[in-house]
Amino acid sequence: MISRRKILTAAAAGSVASTAVRAASFGNPDEPPQGVINTKGNPASLTDPGPQNPAIGGQFPSAQFPPPTDVSDMPHFWASFNNAAKRVQDGGWARQVTQADFAIAETISGVDMRLTAGGIRELHWHLAAEWGYMSYGNCRITILDEMGRAQVADVKEGDLWYFPAGLPHSLQGLGPDGCEFLLCFDDGKATEYNTILLTDWFAHTPPDILAENFGVPAETFAKIPLHQLYIFQGKLPGALAADQASVKSALGLPPHPFTFSLGSSAPVKHTKGGEVRIADSNNFNVSKTIAAALVTLHSGGLREMHWHHNADEWQYWIKGKGRMTVFDSGPRAVTMDFNPGDIGYVKRSNGHYIKNTGDTDLQFLEVFRSSYYADVSLSDWLTHTPPELVAQHLNVDAATIAKFPNNKPAVMPE
Ligand code: MN
Ligand code: MN
């Protein structure tokens, strides 16, 4: 173990040291003095006698050996579902990361849920709006709007749903192998474990009231569950058309669907470096409080330096691996590494970029508590500001600035 640790440490330090040497001649790595660059002549400064856990530590080279341009002292903006405790039931499981677990995440809390084929997430509602992203399999959703118009729909990998705050809904895994999905609530404090459940209300209403309310004898309810079901194994539903026919009311369908196919929508940006797809209230009309971008970065691709003026960004890392540096006033700049199942968070107006550091596509979601998606591109700003003005800030001539991308590519290379 000791020799393995030494090898890992030496390898990481070596690659970072060479980056540091390059950066030293350009950036500002030593004021305030931080990073490997400062350990020249004193290699003991880099050693880490322990305790340590190489399996975890090895996933965070940027935390262990920050780029010399980093200035630490920023709230932790990394979290993960990978180490979130599962609530396991017969029919599936759920795990969550709320602001109670992840202090920086004020605007969004996240849930990762698995339903088996036939597994049912009980009929319920809650105070926050719910935005769902299908990461695997097939699922049937039901919802009733406040006018009494119902929707039943099937969703697949890459699809979304949006359930406005307080509207009642359900989810059920379909064949062949159920589903897994992400839920985002539009409130960092919202928890999946205090939703308002159908079975709880029945079990805590006097039987004579149930009888009067539904116009049937009280004995009808002799076998209701006395404890909540939450997630339970059910029978696979029949054909979608039959379920849709069974919920029809004279009021018809909701005017705008509560589901949207984000993964198979046309990209709004498509470059050599990757693709960006967007869903917000402009194209997914019901999604009044959540906007999202699904970003694919090919190996080596870069999500360009940018920020969001309208909302904090909550990220879900789906595939591949990458690195993000977040920049704030101070100056402060912190770099972190991300893997599938991880969560990132960037406060409104903090600058950031994301680099694909793996040899496969990187895919992640940017989720915002906003009715619309918006970003401000650093390159777009600098190419739409008088060149002589920019040139005097950066000591770069105007002809060079004219080569910067001026069309918001979102993903580099163009
Ligand atoms: Mn829900
Ligand atoms: Mn962003």
**List of domains in the chain:** 79-260 (2.60.120.10), 266-412 (2.60.120.10)
Q: Which ligand is nearest to the CA of 197?
A: 1
Q: Which member of 219, 366, 388, 414 is catalytic?
A: 366
Q: Is the pTM of this model over 0.85?
A: yes
Per mean pLDDT, which range of 40-44, 56-60, 62-66, 77-81 is the poorest? Answer: 40-44
pLDDT value at position 16?
45
Q: Which residues contact 177 (CB under 8 A, 6 or more apart)?
A: 116, 117, 137
Residue 146 annotated among the catalytic residues of the structure: no
Please give the structure tokens belonging to residue 259.
């589901």
pLDDT value at position 68?
81
Question: Ligand 1 centroid to 196 CA: how many Å?
Answer: 9
Question: Ligand 1 centroid to 396 CA: how many Å?
Answer: 52
Question: Ligand 1 centroid to 121 CA: how many Å?
Answer: 8
Q: Which ligand is nearest to the CA of 169?
A: 1
Q: Which ligand is nearest to the CA of 113?
A: 1
Residues near ion ligand 2 (CB < 5 Å) are 313
Per mean pLDDT, which range of 48-62, 310-324, 373-387 is the poorest? Answer: 48-62
pLDDT surpassing 90 at residue 89: yes
Question: Ligand 1 centroid to 125 CA: how many Å?
Answer: 6
pLDDT surpassing 70 at residue 121: yes
Query: Is the distance from CB of 385 to CB of 376 less than 8 angstroms?
Result: no
Q: Categorize the per-residue pLDDT at 3 as very low, low, confident or very high, splitting at 50, 70 and 90.
A: very low
pLDDT value at position 38?
73
Q: Which ligand is nearest to the CA of 364?
A: 2
**For the chain, what percent of residues have pLDDT higher than 90?**
85
Question: Ligand 2 centroid to 161 CA: how many Å?
Answer: 22
Question: Ligand 2 centroid to 142 CA: how many Å?
Answer: 32
